[in-house]
Structure 1
Amino acid sequence: MSYAVSVAGVPSPLYPNWCISSTNNIPSPLNAEDPHRILKATVRNPGYKWRLVIAYDGTHYAGWQFQQSPPTIQCIVEQSLIRVTKLERKDLQLVGASRTDAGVHAWGQVAHFITPFNYDTLEGIHAALNGLLPSDIRVREISPAVPDFHARFSAKSKIYHYKIYNDAIMDPFQRHYAYHSTYKLNTAVMKVAAKHFIGRHDFSAFANASRNNRIPDPVKTIFRFDVIEMGALLQLEVEGSGFLYRQVRNMVALLLHIGKEAIPPDVVPMILATRDRKELAKYALSAQPHGLCLVSIKYNEEHLWPPSGCPKTSFGRHHNISKCKLPFY
């Protein structure tokens, strides 16, 4: 059974390797420049792993993967982590679950990083990170993670949404987050075509050439592919075991042409069978990135168990007025 990463309240197992001995449970003095307190870790602890759930507007970024110019989400998050933890980039070992492209958004990107010390609370570091990050990037959650957890390799499935605004005039408030189609789309045939993607297939025909030297496994499983109508807005929701480079945008591009009734729905299994990207290029190019959003990532239950001896998940904190500042009359 798999669970979304934001699941909370799972019972904590006994995990001795993460416990801090009572002789070392002495908090360091609170530094005025530090927004958090650190507990000294014992020598037997190789490090502590922390899971982040991150939301971002990808409009002004060159994707997730680290590069300094133009800026990426990973680069900006690392800069903030370095300032808050006082650690070097090589020590943090920040890893993201999905390498989203330039212009692609996320509501549920997951990442993990490592520190040589434990925290007694995560609310301070959470507030400090969001205070340093630009307003279009936000850490939604911080939680302790078991050593076996890996943001990328532990993922069981990923959910992406692609939004299409299907009207003659574009809603200006949707322009950064939905693709504008002035063609009236036939959603019925799009739904028929989307069902052809469901199941275990070789998606070589729907993958652009990878930007690195790794050769990914082209066989992926699509658990669902829904076309949801919300007035002028169409939301394409796809959940899969994993996705190849630009696979989702390529699938959406083909569905758009099918929705225009330029090609029939049964072209999908025909293109899949060829395992040839050049065959898809005869019908469609990749859909624009700004309509795509990484919504959530699911993991097995045991990977979300909080280790013993570590603080609770931080979902952020609200500020309260401690006393009335208005005079009484």
Structure 2
Amino acid sequence: MNCTVVGLPSAPGLSGCLSTTINSSNSGGNGGSGAEDSYHTAMPTVAGYKWRLVLAYDGTRYAGWQYQQSPPTIQCILENALTRATKLERKDLHLVGASRTDAGVHAWGQVAHFVTPFNYGSLENIHAALNGILPSDIRVREISPAMPEFHARFSVKRKIYHYKIYNDTIMDPFQHHFAYHSVYKLNTDVMREAATYFIGKHDFSAFANASRNDRVPNPVKHIFRFDVYEMGALLQLEVEGSGFLYRQVRNMVALLFQIGKEAIPPHIVPEILATRDRKELAKYVLSAPPHGLCLVSINYNEDHLRLPSGCPTNSFGRHRSITKCKLPFY
């Protein structure tokens, strides 16, 4: 599908779209790292137009977000599609994702940004082109122009994750790839009680696996809410926080799961938090499986979400239409 581009970085009236800084640290590494928070590093100046993507994907077949070719990652597949649609080299796109989801983890509201040296007159063509190239388990939900100040990772204010547990003797086959199956009858009241101990600002060192990244993140995170919803046999655990350490969500869920089985009491949560020692948590649980986890949404600094002048409006996809039905019986 042909994607027409108009304008150049020096075109009059389009300077509002120009990107001035970009972080290129996400262009390499191991896709299985799964570290969910960023590390602030020097951001070199890059001229160009910045574009924000909202992505949804079924992570079953992929080795997480961060770039690697084999086994493939979401970033690798997305960059291949972008290079075909934009005719740019991978190194020129400077693609950055908001969250480095781990292997097998899903997303409904992953956010990324990339840069082009040219402006677009409309984003509908590039949007359709990307979804035409991408496999069916990865979709671009939205494309929008972004301010120079916007950064998919560093502009983040809050993230929301869901973890699903199917709590019945027989697993629903339609939930097989998206929910963890528990044959134990879980006590949701004690799970809710335990979840309240996570709320607030804490050092979550005891709930973070050792990252394979040599840079050390800030272990203090603010959890704004941690809810447990019952939808028939399906339990949905929703956690909203300022950020999350590597496997922090899966480790918190694993402990709530053991508490729900009534194997350990709810007050174990603050006791483990106070130790700041991952070995203490390991006495009780291993990480919950990745396939129950989904990155649902990311909230940003509102000032960084303002639309720049001289750029096209957001694209949410478009419906196709025909003027005459050639197959009246279908």
Kindly tell me: are residues 319 and 267 of structure 1, through their superposed partners in 2, closer, same or farther at Cα, counting changes over 3 Å?
Answer: same
TM-superposed CA distance for 1:324, in Å, is: 4.6
2-structure distance, mates of 1:324, 1:69: 45
2:25 matched to 1:57?
no
Counterpart position of 1:35? 3
Greater Cα shift, 126-135 or 82-91: 82-91
Counterpart position of 2:28? none
Give the match's secondary structure for 2:255.
Answer: helix
Counterpart position of 1:322? 323
TM-superposed CA distance for 1:301, in Å, is: 1.4
Question: Which amino acid in 2 is paired with 1:73?
Answer: I
Counterpart position of 2:283? 282
Counterpart position of 2:31? none
2:236 matched to 1:235?
yes
Counterpart position of 1:136? 137
Give the match's secondary structure for 2:300.
Answer: strand
Give the match's secondary structure for 1:47.
Answer: strand
Q: TM-score, normalised by structure 2?
A: 0.88
Question: Which amino acid in 1 is paired with 2:52?
Answer: R
1-structure distance, mates of 2:214, 2:92: 25
2-structure distance, mates of 1:222, 1:143: 29
Root-mean-square deviation over aligned CA pairs:
1.2
Counterpart position of 1:184? 185
Structure 2 unaligned spans of 5+: 19-46
CA distances 1:38-61 after superposition (whole Å, capped 9, x unpaired): 323317852100000000000000
Counterpart position of 1:145? 146
Question: Which amino acid in 2 is paired with 1:95?
Answer: V
Give the match's secondary structure for 2:139.
Answer: strand
1-structure distance, mates of 2:175, 2:67: 28
% identical aligned pairs: 79
2-structure distance, mates of 1:74, 1:325: 40
2-structure distance, mates of 1:40, 1:51: 19
2:231 matched to 1:215?
no
Question: Which amino acid in 2 is paired with 1:40?
Answer: L
2-structure distance, mates of 1:307, 1:104: 33
Counterpart position of 2:314? 313
Q: Give 4+ residue runs of structure 1 displaced > 6 Å after superposition.
A: none
Give the match's secondary structure for 1:78.
Answer: helix
* Within-5 A mapping of 1:66-145: 66-145=67-146
Give the match's secondary structure for 2:125.
Answer: helix
2-structure distance, mates of 1:144, 1:95: 15
1-structure distance, mates of 2:155, 2:196: 27
Question: Which amino acid in 2 is paired with 1:299?
Answer: Y
1-structure distance, mates of 2:6, 2:76: 25
1-structure distance, mates of 2:2, 2:233: 48
TM-superposed CA distance for 1:215, in Å, is: 0.2
1-structure distance, mates of 2:181, 2:244: 24
Counterpart position of 1:203? 204
TM-superposed CA distance for 1:302, in Å, is: 1.1
TM-superposed CA distance for 1:300, in Å, is: 1.8
Question: Which amino acid in 1 is paired with 2:6?
Answer: I
CA distances 1:220-265 after superposition (whole Å, capped 9, x unpaired): 0000000000000000000000000000000000000000000000
How many matched pairs? 295
TM-superposed CA distance for 1:304, in Å, is: 1.0
CA distances 1:285-312 after superposition (whole Å, capped 9, x unpaired): 0000000000000012111111000000
Give the match's secondary structure for 2:202.
Answer: strand
